[in-house]
Amino acid sequence: MNVLVVGSGGREHALCWSISASPLVDSLYCAPGNGGIGSIANRVDISPTDIDGLIGFCRSEAIDFVVVGPEQPLVDGLVDRLSDVGIKAFGPSARAAALEGSKGFTKDLCAKYDIPTGAYGRFTDAGAAKAYVYASGAPIVVKADGLAAGKGVTVAQNVDEALAAIDEAFAGRFGSAGSEVVVEEFLHGEEASFFAIVDGRSALPLASAQDHKAVGDGDTGPNTGGMGAYSPAPVVTEELHGKIMSRIIEPTVTAMTAEGCPYTGVLYAGIMIVDGEPLLLEYNARFGDPECQVLMPRLKSDIMPVLLAAADGVLDQVDLRWCEDVALTVVLATHGYPGDYSKGSVIRNVNSAQELPDVTIFHAGTDIQDGNLVATGGRVLNITALGSSVREAQERAYEAVDVIDWPEGFCRSDIGWRAISRES
């Protein structure tokens, strides 16, 4: 079968890596891919948001199955358009992707179907949003309703910060994504990511993971797309796993069907664990990045039958086997990220690092130029290692990081610290 993966990040490299190992795949393409993906898939120079371009390519190359990585094309209706022309895809329809595309939609769904989450209000004018903030006090969280490339959330420590965030959103900082805001109760606890594959009717849990959003050691500094991750997340005990499935994931799948927009694809729940109980922070309609880079190396089963079963609505016919090992990934980023950074610096010794035992390197913002591997983005490489404990996986990952010669790059030195403190 001919398969197209849409996207260009570390997540898509990890997906291509798993998919390329499947005997079901004849030809694998990735649009647009990156400098690492080119060695396992045919790169196609089409943007993930160019829906007409992607459809045209699928028709001309007889693509049988499309796996969509990022959220924007899902919210824009790529899966619906593919389905209209008879091409099977893994990912939700535009209406179902509203779980990520509209925070207000998700909060209303939680309220209607009794799914545990923080108290909230939805507002289309600044005055009413501010009145809610005054009435609630701080800390409080202000969120642009729509997709804002991970920048639409302000955790305000005081009322003034919350008011400023409301003004910014309504002044157009996030474009139309901020024309509505959700103001939400601040939840104090520990965060974890939980992933399930859904086929419209039922949900197959994947594994838990934790990522490190802040740019600096000790979880300090501005938030990023994620500076590292590990799976499983020891904080998600068997009991908590059961509660997340029965109180959050399964009721959401049922609710989406009842609302007339059954959900298919990966359901990624951002969970806050408060006094041992899981509350939903947000949904994403896709794999996490860098969480996908620690899920794929732990997956022992062929991923393709699972993705196909989700698209076909027969997930009950497959099961998944995971290796017991822990996977941990360290993100190498260009100096300056998440602010401004330069492009085009040369990265050396990636192949030597990759040869270390139990190490896999997933590329993100890289390209091959004049035979050199160069950095083209903020997050650039994901150095991933397996180990029998988080500590062992961490040691192996950082050994590989040390082999890489890239003066223009940096990474956090403490990925996994929370889980390691639980191990000792």
Q: Is the Cβ of residue 141 or residue 177 nearer to ligand AMP in the bound state?
A: 141
226 binds, among ligand GLY, ligand AMP, none (CB under 5 to 8 A by kind): ligand GLY
For the CB of residue 288, give the shortest distance to ligand GLY in the complex, in Å.
Answer: 4
Other beta carbons less than 10 A from residue 60's beta carbon: 8
For the CB of residue 46, give the shortest distance to ligand GLY in the complex, in Å.
Answer: 22
Q: Is the Cβ of residue 130 or residue 418 nearer to ligand GLY in the bound state?
A: 418
Query: What one-character-per-residue DSSP string does 123-136 give?
Result: ESSHHHHHHHHHHH
Binding site for ligand AMP (CB under 6 A): 118, 141, 143, 153, 155, 184-187, 191, 213, 270, 281-282
Q: Is the Cβ of residue 106 or residue 284 nearer to ligand GLY in the bound state?
A: 284
For the CB of residue 282, give the shortest distance to ligand GLY in the complex, in Å.
Answer: 9
Which of these, 225, 218, 203, 206, lies nearest to 327 by C-alpha position?
206
Angle at CA of residue 8, ends 6 and 11, nearest 5° = 85
* Closest residue to ligand AMP using C-beta atoms: 282
Q: Is the Cβ of residue 82 or residue 141 nearer to ligand AMP in the bound state?
A: 141
Separation of alpha carbons 158 and 137, rounded Å: 8
Binding site for ligand GLY (CB under 6 A): 211, 226, 284, 288-289, 291
| Residues 275, 213 contacting (CB under 8 angstroms) | no
288 binds, among ligand AMP, ligand GLY, none (CB under 5 to 8 A by kind): ligand GLY
241 binds, among ligand GLY, ligand AMP, none (CB under 5 to 8 A by kind): none
211 binds, among ligand AMP, ligand GLY, none (CB under 5 to 8 A by kind): ligand GLY
Q: Is the dihedral of CA 340, 345, 351, 355 positive or negative?
A: negative
Q: Left, alpha or beta for 162 (phi > 0: left; psi -120 to 50: alpha)? A: alpha
Q: Where are the alpha helices (DSSP H) in 87-151?
A: 98-101, 103-113, 126-136
For 350, what's the count of Cα atoms within 13 Å in the CB-facing half-sphere?
24
Separation of alpha carbons 405 and 349, rounded Å: 6
Q: Is the Cβ of residue 329 or residue 376 nearer to ligand GLY in the bound state?
A: 329
For the CB of residue 242, give the shortest distance to ligand AMP in the complex, in Å.
Answer: 23
186 binds, among ligand AMP, ligand GLY, none (CB under 5 to 8 A by kind): ligand AMP
Q: Is the Cβ of residue 139 or residue 234 nearer to ligand AMP in the bound state?
A: 139
Separation of alpha carbons 187 and 134, rounded Å: 18
Separation of alpha carbons 291 and 287, rounded Å: 7
For the CB of residue 201, give the shortest distance to ligand AMP in the complex, in Å.
Answer: 27
For the CB of residue 296, give the shortest distance to ligand GLY in the complex, in Å.
Answer: 14
For the CB of residue 182, give the shortest distance to ligand GLY in the complex, in Å.
Answer: 17
Q: Left, alpha or beta for 240 (phi > 0: left; psi -120 to 50: alpha)? A: alpha
